[in-house]
Amino acid sequence: MAKKAARKRAPVADEAADRGTPALDKIAGLLALIATRDMDKESAGLKLDAIGFTSHEISALLDVNENFVRVARHRKSKKR
C-alpha cells in the first residue's frame, strides 16, 4: 500500500514544481525590478524579455500594457 501512496503523490509534486511557488515568483519579480530600476520602460521590457519573462509578467512588473512589450520587440527587430 505504501507504494501506491507514493505513486499518487509524485504527480502532485511535479505539478507544483512546474507552477513555481508564489514566494519564488515574488523574489523573481523583485530581482527583475532591481535589475531594471534605472532604465526606461522600453529598455527594461526588452531586457526582461531577453531574460525569459513572458509579456504578461513584464506588463505586470512595469505597469504597462502587454501590447507595449510586443511593440518594443517589434521596434527592436526593425532596428536590425
- The grid cell for 27 is 523574489
pLDDT at 14: 47
pTM over 0.85? The answer is no
* φ, ψ (nearest 5 deg) of residue 6: -65, -35
What string of pLDDT tens digits covers the 80 residues of the chain? 556 555 555 454 445 555 668 899 889 889 998 989 999 999 999 999 998 999 999 999 999 999 999 999 999 888 77
Specify whether the CB–CB gap between 69 and 58 falls below 8 A: yes
The number of residues in the chain equals 80
